[in-house]
Amino acid sequence: MADGMWSRAAAKMNQPALTIVMYHYVRPIAGSQYPRIRGLELTDFEGQLDYIERYHQVVSMAQVLAASRQEAALAPGSVLLTFDDGYLDHYAHVFPALARRGMTGVFFPPTCAVRDRRMLDVNKIHFILASVDGLDDVIAYMEEEVTKAGLRPVAEYREELRTPNRFDTADTMYVKRMLQFALAADLRAAIVDALFRRFVSQDEEGFAETVYMSESQTREMVVGGMSIGGHGSAHQWLDKMQPDDQRKDIADSLQWLEAMGASREHFLFCYPYGGYNAHTLAALRERNCAAAFTTKVDLAVISAETMLELPRLDTNDLPRSGDELPVTWTEKALKESAA
């Protein structure tokens, strides 16, 4: 059967499940200045690519978009690789690793980090946590500031927020939740800034140069075949913003993406912190967003109706060696692809 006839026939069938993998820091961590940073060792990333090559097939964003339009079918076991937050890691380590293997990825840099060299609060928190031997001093300062502000008793915050998740301890999650969303924005920022200056660096802009890729590096990756999408102009919880503020944030992000060489026609977006609501979806539709990515954990069903709420697996959900046997998610993806 001719390729065109096969594609049209395949498009009439249900698309196989798509595994979308989410990455953040990818770097040599052991022996570095910040060995406690929660990321993926570069050697483990290479091993995970070996695993993915053995059991899956990495596809491009263009292939996923074509599948959503029913113009072609994805191959069974297809995987899309996504990288959040615009880290220098992605230019220095991920980009060459993918290029060597003939793979592509989708990268989501926040505008304020790459263009304005501003440290994201979420990354300040990461480096604070990676710079201390224990969290007693961090928690003590945070709770002291909460008490000074005349808010609820800290015991209530602890009872509500001090629980572990699948990756972090109870104390770590307590600090993250307090400083990412539980407190008012101004108080959160003041506490984070003070802790960052105390434990990490007095020079935020200089530190940002070591954390995020540059605009010229971003353009180089686009020219090199990588896809980029928006991750918010200011990397804020969009679902906690007013609808007009959401629209402005998304519009600013899109304008910057165009300056980086991204296509408005194939506008991609990734929700900061995974936060979005009906207003966010409406704002993306107004801008003709082609696909948007969440932090929901599942395999993705690709269709015109699902493209603005695509779930992803975390890198920790997949093995880090090509010698390992398939795990639950791989088995599920291959089983659903064969169904």
**Using one digit for the tens of pLDDT, what is the confidence trace for 133-146?**
999 999 999 999 99
Identify the weakest region by mean pLDDT among 2-16, 251-265, 310-324. Answer: 2-16
Which structure tokens are listed for 196?
Answer: 């960052």
SS3 content of the chain, % helix, strand, coil (to 5): 50, 10, 40
Q: What is the pLDDT of residue 10?
A: 38
Helix, strand or coil for residue 314?
A: strand
| pLDDT-based confidence at residue 337 (cuts at 50, 70, 90) | low
313: amino acid identity, one letter = L
| Nearest in space to 300 (alpha carbons), one of 46, 10, 65, 39 | 65
At residue 182, φ and ψ (nearest 5 deg) are -70, -35
Helix, strand or coil for residue 189?
A: helix
- Maximum distance among all Cα pairs of the chain, rounded to whole angstroms: 73
Model pLDDT for residues 195-252, shown as the tens digit of each residue: 999 999 999 999 999 999 999 999 999 999 999 999 999 899 999 999 999 999 999 9
Please indicate, yes or no, whether the overall pTM of this predicted structure exceeds 0.85. Answer: yes
Q: What is the pLDDT of residue 338?
A: 57
* Partners of 82 in beta bridges: 22, 106
Q: What is the pLDDT of residue 4?
A: 37
